Structure 1
Amino acid sequence: MVAMKVFPTTRNSIAFFSVTIVMAVLVMGLEGYIFARYEDETHKYDMQDSTSSRAIPTYFSLVIFAEIFGLLVAWDSLRLKNTIQVIGLCLYHLALMVYAIIQIDQIKEALGPDLINDHDVWGNGSSLSIEPWLIIIPVVIGCSIVLLCYYSYRLYEEFGWTIYKHIGADLAMHRHYMAFQIFIALLKFDFIFFVGFTIQFIVITLNVTDPEFGLTIAVIPITILGLLFTSWALRNEKMWGMYITLTYFLCAMAYFLFKLIRMYSGPKKSLYGSAKRPLVTFAILTLALLIASIVNASICMRNFGKGLKNYVHQRRVGTSPSSPEMLMDRWISSTDHKSPVSLRVQLD
């Protein structure tokens, strides 16, 4: 009997998901508390509207959104028994930890020396100080990463047998399927970094009369449509579609390089201020993901016509495409074709 499980059921998968949930709850709770304190101080002392003060609420929101996204990907990875996404989540949270560390200096700079020195809202021993809470966030993420890495190793062993049952003993097919999994995982992480960078950029520039503002807004729907099209082209082995995808990735690289150059040269470089650091961090990480996506797309294209498409197009038995457990696949993949990893084989 073939059955599909919506939630993790094994000890290692439950432990992995539990660590992810606890980390997300703690980080979101801390971010919410610090944001409330920050808003209270900025309104109480009538802080001047600046690039930094505008961007700070965006940083809080992005971390919270990133944790929610991490929860969805963790659930999706365990549901599909996707080892690549499980490992990718460890790297993803490592990047999030770096961002949380950068956030400390960003908020300190946004508050300004007068507010910090005169009103005990930073780290001067006051019970209202927010610096200790900001430091706790990367510590929580770092400790969680250690546990996630351990359970990722255990899940790698556990999921290996499941993949073997679906693909068989063909080593070449295993390599093809591994490349497919890597590319699908990259698309999901491309999404969060694309959107994260764009949202920050929009908030920081905040000039609706500038033509670049509208173009930056347009990047978000273009990103979503481009990633969905890429997933469709890959699953259906459309060579022409993958060539469009490669062009799309190259254009995206040019876009991010252009934004990086604008931040360090030209008449608008002073506009970014201290917000430049998180923007540069996101841009560099996104460029790295784009390079990895281009390389992996080329590998997947070489694997077209070698039989993998039959495995990719296997459908779940007794599962409606509109059922709740299919939501993540519908978000990043074609609604007509599902990954074979989603099959769960059970002996009744």
Structure 2
Amino acid sequence: MSRLLPNAGIARVYVLAVLVLAFVFIMSEAYIIYLTRQGEKIINTNQWQIPEVQDAVSSSITTYMVYNVLFILAQVYIIFLCLEALMYKNTIQVIAVIVFYIVCQTYTAARYISFYVLPSLAARIFLRDRNMQLMQVSVMAMYAIALVSLVVLSYKLKKDVGWSVFRKLGADISLHRAYAWHQCLTILLKIDIYFVGSYLVQMTALILKADDIETWLQITVFIPFCIIVIVGAFYALYGERRRLMIVIAGCIFLSVGYFIFKIVRVCDPSIVNRPGDPYADNRPFIMITIVTCMLLVIATGLASIKCIQNFDSGLKEAIAYDEMRIRHQKMYATPVPADEKHESGRLLSDPDSPTRDRFALE
């Protein structure tokens, strides 16, 4: 961990906090899944229930459990984002983790509303379940605590991360701005992977039917389209391939129309609260997902345009040189003599590993 940031103590606390929070959230969601399964058993053992009602409630409970699994996967993804943010000293990614938690908090609030404020038919079986209500309130409170904790730790990490960027790119302000947009687009694409993937899981597993043409369009067109666009965006960004990035940006903005179409489709008055409504129990969740995906897509498109403008500014060469310098430090590192240590030595190397690149041009 000492190699992650100059102030390794804060980095360790940050990673430990994220791991502890993730463990607590995963255990909480697992317990909510258990309570949901218990509710399903109660429904199935009530023989007096109308079969159609039992089927509808069982389908709704399956929907709730799918979202619990997505909550758990979100925690795993947050761990990945946090560790990578520290490893590559990415300030924007540290901030993106906080935004990720805010979206998760929004989901938990929507879940509580759908269970206890505006309960659906399936959710009514949990109105007297104090354990379920207590767990959902606890999860919302823990997300609030997690947000405050990560904001404080992120603020403390910001200075160290900023110094690492200064060392990488020097004092060229235009290069720093280009690198900031480069990082911003990278982070947006990484977050797109989770939220677009979450949207595809929700639509494919919970909404679409095998006999619906939209199902096959989703599987054969939209899913491959998303994969190609995201992979192509990474490829064009790191290679500064201007023409490819222009095409990718165009595809990204075109996809906004698809999400607008889905918003209109989900909110169609002709199906809301009607028999056979495919969004009966997950309308709040799917709407949050669609709106989040649309905002992310718009932000990704705008960041792509800024990155296109910054191509050929020397950023690619600066990043390549820094990577070469790091490889040399690992291959030819030697101890720094005591008489060469000075005030900036803390930023150049960690006290626990006082090495330098004897072939560096600094």
1:96 correspondence with 2:104? yes
Which residue in 1 is equivalent to 2:125?
Answer: 115
| 1:64 paired residue number | 72
In structure 2, the partner of 1:259 is 262
Bigger shift: residues 45-54 or 156-165: 45-54
Q: Distance in 1 between matches of 2:136 and 2:55?
A: 22
Distance, in Å, in 1 between the alignment partners of 2:2 and 2:249 is: 34
Q: 1:14 aligns with which of 12, 15, 20?
A: 12
**Does the CA contact (< 8 Å) of 2:229 and 2:252 recur in 1?**
no
Distance 1:102 1:37 in 2: 18
Which one of the candidate residues 79, 84, 89 is aligned to 1:76? Answer: 84
% same residue: 22
Task: State the one-letter code of the partner of 1:282.
Answer: T
Alignment partners' CA distance in 1, 2:303 and 2:11: 27
| 1:317 has 2:327 as partner | yes
Question: How many pairs were matched up?
Answer: 315
Letter in 1 for 2:83: W
CA–CA separation in structure 1 for the residues paired with 2:264 and 2:103 = 22
1:247 aligned to which of 247, 250, 266: 250
Q: 1:293 aligns with which of 300, 304, 327?
A: 300
Alpha-carbon contact 2:5-2:11 (below 8 Å) kept? no
Question: SS at 1:271's partner residue?
Answer: coil
**2:172 pairs with 170, 173, 192, which one?**
170
Displacement of 1:45 in angstroms is 2.2
Show the counterpart of 2:181.
Answer: 179
Structure 1 pair 268/215, CA: closer, same or farther in 2 (3 Å)? farther
Alpha carbons 2:181, 2:307 under 8 Å: kept: yes
Q: Which has the larger radius of gyration?
A: 2
Q: What is the TM-score when the length of structure 1 is the normalising length? A: 0.83
- Equivalent in the alignment of 1:238: 241
Q: Which amino acid aligns with 2:8?
A: T
Once residues 161 and 309 of structure 2 are traced to their aligned partners in structure 1, the CA distance between those partners, rounded to angstroms, is 26
3-state secondary structure, aligned to 2:145: helix
Within 5 A, what are the aligned runs for 1:269-348? 270-314=277-321, 315=323, 317=327, 347-348=354-355
C-alpha spacing 1:222/1:144, structure 2 compared with 1 (3 Å): same
SS at match of 1:274: coil
Q: 1:246 to 1:292 in 2, by over 3 A?
A: same
Equivalent runs, 1:122-141 vs 2, <5 Å? 122-123=129-130, 129-141=131-143
Once the two structures are TM-superposed, the CA of residue 106 in structure 1 deviates from its matched residue by: 3.2
Partner amino acid, structure 1, of 2:314:
G
Match of 2:55 among 36, 49, 55: 49
Q: Does 1:211 align with 2:209?
A: no
The alpha-carbon deviation at position 265 of structure 1 amounts to: 2.1
More divergent stretch after superposition (207-216 vs 156-165): 207-216
The answer (yes or no) to whether the contact 1:17–1:75 under 8 Å persists in 2 is yes
Give yes or no for contact 1:198–1:217 (8 Å, CA) kept in 2: no
Question: Please, what TM-score do these two structures have when normalized by structure 2?
Answer: 0.80
Supply the distance in 2 between the matched residues of 1:41 and 1:8 (Cα, whole angstroms): 51
What stretches of structure 2 of length at least 5 have no aligned partner? 45-52, 331-347, 356-362
By how many angstroms is 1:232 displaced?
A: 0.9
Partner of 2:287: helix, strand, or coil?
helix
| Shift in alpha-carbon separation, 1:113–1:207, aligned structure 2, 3 A | closer
Determine the structure 2 residue equivalent to 1:325. none
Does the 8 Å contact 1:59/1:103 carry over to 2?
no
Q: CA deviation at 1:5?
A: 4.3
**Residue 202 in 1 paired to residue 204 in 2?**
yes
1:340 matched residue in structure 2: none
Please report how far the alpha carbon of residue 62 of structure 1 lies from its aligned counterpart in structure 2 after TM superposition: 0.7
Counterpart position of 2:144: 142
Counterpart residue number, 1:23: 21
